[in-house]
Amino acid sequence: MAFPEFFSRVPPITLRDPLAELLGAADGGLIEYRFADAVKLAGHSCPTVAGAWLTSVRALRALYGEEIPVRGNIAVSLHEPVDAGVAGVIASVATLLTGAAGEGGFKGLGGQHVRRGLLRFGVSGSLGMTFSRLDTNATVNGIFRPNSIAADPRLGELLPAVVHGSATPAERKLFGELWQDRVKRILIDHGDDPAVVELRVFQG
């Protein structure tokens, strides 16, 4: 499977999953996640997936500092209802990295490693996504603000033909390249930009 070259330049994140360690799925429970994993999960690469990845990764690093984040030890809440816009896509990326799941999630093993109920939608009080450590109650609120990274104006010109199936192969190829160029700029050029992902840290 060939992904755009810049995928490999997005910094990965390593998490420790005690459940994976217990069940012998990963040595020491250590699992490395890459942006390509989020793309495989979502089935596509777009600014929403990129923003969910960036927000989740930066929130986890803010919560854990120099420690390895613990998957399954984080609750996630979204301001938007589950059926609003792209809330489901955003949440799926957060679940990939944190393990937090809704009512259909893992019920636990001997009362431990419960993932069900750690993901909530329609939570008032803050915008974007909020990540909370279960052991310390430390909380990070992350808001993705992509508007400062404008799309190439040619995308808007190409979109009608692409959607209606009248675009030429060259036009479709250009559309995809321009689409991924914005994703690249979000992840590579603005990966640490506080104006693109705004974080607010609250100690437990």
Write down the domain spans for the chain. 10-145+193-202
Separation between Cα atoms, residue 195 and residue 198, nearest integer Å: 6
Sign of CA dihedral 65, 187, 11, 3: positive
Separation between Cα atoms, residue 27 and residue 16, nearest integer Å: 10
pLDDT of residue 107: 85
pLDDT digits (tens, 9 = 90+) for 125-154: 878 999 999 999 999 999 999 998 999 999
Q: What is the pTM of this model?
A: 0.94
Rounded to the nearest 10°, the torsion over CA 133, 57, 67, 30 is 100
Residues of the chain with pLDDT under 50: none
pLDDT of residue 204: 67
CATH topology of domain 10-145+193-202: 60s Ribosomal Protein L30; Chain: A; (3.30.1330)
pLDDT digits (tens, 9 = 90+) for 168-187: 999 999 999 999 999 999 99
pLDDT of residue 40: 97
